[in-house]
């Protein structure tokens, strides 16, 4: 097993900020979203207190991790989103991962219902991992305020995906050893 780590500023990856119309369902994109600038990709690629802020109702950050590993080699996806909030609590902050096979964001994988200054949203996928990787190697995750309060902002500090995979060549190496034997 080996791992690779991806952030919005990793080659091929990017993010968007916007305001969802509702709890995400089947639509991959969020209405009114705008893609991160290169500076915003950098700002969301390390947990250093430099954030990208999105305000308004159902503020959200949608990240596309484009992974280099072959889908069939991937055994686990581990997400970590570190964020700050401003304004009152009492709303849900939710992390979603897009199921490309079912064309749905599904249910929240990590939740915080209070205002917070520094919080890690984490989620791990260990079964049917290929369902979450599309035909172009894209994995999508979304952190959003799942509520109506426009007085709260969602400040994304870090978006990270760690991909665990079987190293290619393993089977070939075994065949080679059989050949020597």
Which residues form the interface with Ca ion (CB under 5 A)? 47-48, 50, 82, 118, 157
Distance CA 174, CA 153 (A): 53
Q: How far is the CB of 96 from Ca ion (least distance, A)?
A: 20
Q: Which is nearer to Ca ion, 10 or 82 (CB)?
A: 82
Residues whose CB is less than 8 angstroms from the CB of residue 116 and which lie 6 or more positions away in sequence, other chains included: 83, 84, 85, 89, 93
Closest residue by beta carbon to Ca ion: 157
Number of alpha helices (DSSP H) and beta strands (DSSP E) in the chain:
2, 11
Residues whose CB is less than 8 angstroms from the CB of residue 70 and which lie 6 or more positions away in sequence, other chains included: 165, 168
Q: How far is the CB of 97 from Ca ion (least distance, A)?
A: 21
Distance CA 141, CA 139 (A): 7
**Nearest by Cα to 50 from 88, 106, 9:** 9
Q: How far is the CB of 152 from Ca ion (least distance, A)?
A: 17
Q: Which is nearer to Ca ion, 33 or 47 (CB)?
A: 47
Q: How far is the CB of 140 from Ca ion (least distance, A)?
A: 20
Q: Which is nearer to Ca ion, 83 or 133 (CB)?
A: 83
Q: Which is nearer to Ca ion, 49 or 102 (CB)?
A: 49
Q: Which is nearer to Ca ion, 69 or 157 (CB)?
A: 157
Q: How far is the CB of 45 from Ca ion (least distance, A)?
A: 7
Distance CA 152, CA 65 (A): 26
Q: How far is the CB of 117 from Ca ion (least distance, A)?
A: 8
Q: Which is nearer to Ca ion, 31 or 48 (CB)?
A: 48
Distance CA 75, CA 168 (A): 13
**Nearest by Cα to 78 from 116, 27, 129, 119:** 129
């Amino acid at each position: 097993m080996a791992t690779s780590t991806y952030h919005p500023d990793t080659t091929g990856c990017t993010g968007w900020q916007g305001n969802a119309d509702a709890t995400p369902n089947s639509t991959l994109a969020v209405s009114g979203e705008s893609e991160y600038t290169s500076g915003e990709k950098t700002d969301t690629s390390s947990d250093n207190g430099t954030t990208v802020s999105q305000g308004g109702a159902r503020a959200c950050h949608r990240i596309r991790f484009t992974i280099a590993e072959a889908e069939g080699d991937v055994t686990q996806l581990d997400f970590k989103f570190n964020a700050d909030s401003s304004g009152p609590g009492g709303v849900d902050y939710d992390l979603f991962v897009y199921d490309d096979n079912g064309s749905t964001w599904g249910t929240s994988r990590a939740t915080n219902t209070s205002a917070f200054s520094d919080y890690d949203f984490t989620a791990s996928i260990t079964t049917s991992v290929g369902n979450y990787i599309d035909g172009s190697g894209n994995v999508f995750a979304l952190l959003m305020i799942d509520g109506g309060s426009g007085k709260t902002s969602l400040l994304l500090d870090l978006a990270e995906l760690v991909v665990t995979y079987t190293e290619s060549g393993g089977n070939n190496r075994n065949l080679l050893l059989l050949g020597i034997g």
